[in-house]
Amino acid sequence: MAGLRVTESVCPYCAVGCGQLVYTRGGELVDIEGNPRSPINQGTLCPKGSASRQLVQQPDRVTTVKYRAPGGAEWQELELDRAMDMIAERVIAARERGWQDVDHRGRRVNRTLGFAHLGGATLDNEENYLIKKFFTAMGAVQIENQARI
C-alpha cells in the first residue's frame, strides 16, 4: 500500500510487553496490530492492546489541564505553566512538612514521608527509571508501581 510505513513497537499498557506493528502514513497513525515476530505475543494483542490506537487518537481525549479547587464543584482550565508551578509549590511544601533528618532512634535518614509515588501500568521503562531517580533524589522512600499491587 502506497506510503504506508510500519514501525515495530511495544504495547504501552502492561508489563507483558507485547510486540506491536505501528502503521503510519504521512506521519499519521493509521493502524496498530500484533507483531508476529514477537516471541511474547506472536502476532496477537489482548482487547486493551488492540485498542491502544485510542491512546493517541481518541476524539474525547482530554488535552488541556483541568483543575478543581479545594471545595470547588466545577472544573476550570489552567495554562500548563501555571499548573506546573502549582504542582511544584505543593511538592516542595509537602517535602518540607514531611522531612526527617533522623528516625525515632536518632539514626540519620535524610528523607521525607511527605509524599509517595504510585506509578501506573502505562508508564514505560524509561519513565519508571526517571521517576524512581527523581523521587529518590527528592528524599521519597515510598515509591511503588501499580503492576506490583
User: Which residues contribute to the site for ligand SF4 (CB under 6 A)?
Assistant: 11, 13-14, 16-18, 41, 45-46, 48-49
Residue 24 or 44: the one with the smaller Cβ distance to ligand SF4 is: 44
Which residues lie closer than 8 Å to 131 by C-beta, 6 or more apart? 117, 119, 123, 143
Element (H, E) at 110: strand 108-112
Whole-number minimum distance, CB 133 to ligand SF4, in Å? 24
Shortest separation between residue 17's beta carbon and ligand SF4, angstroms: 6
Least separation in angstroms between CB 57 and ligand SF4: 17
Task: Indicate the residue among 22 and 45 with the shorter CB distance to ligand SF4.
Answer: 45
When the beta carbons of 85 and 124 are compared against ligand SF4, the nearer one is 124
Residue with the shortest CB distance to ligand SF4: 49
Alpha helical stretches, state H, the chain: 47-50, 54-57, 80-97, 125-137
CB closer to ligand SF4 out of 45 and 140: 45
Backbone angles phi, psi at 29, to 5 degrees: -70, 130
Among 72, 114, 106, 66, residue whose Cα is nearest residue 90: 114
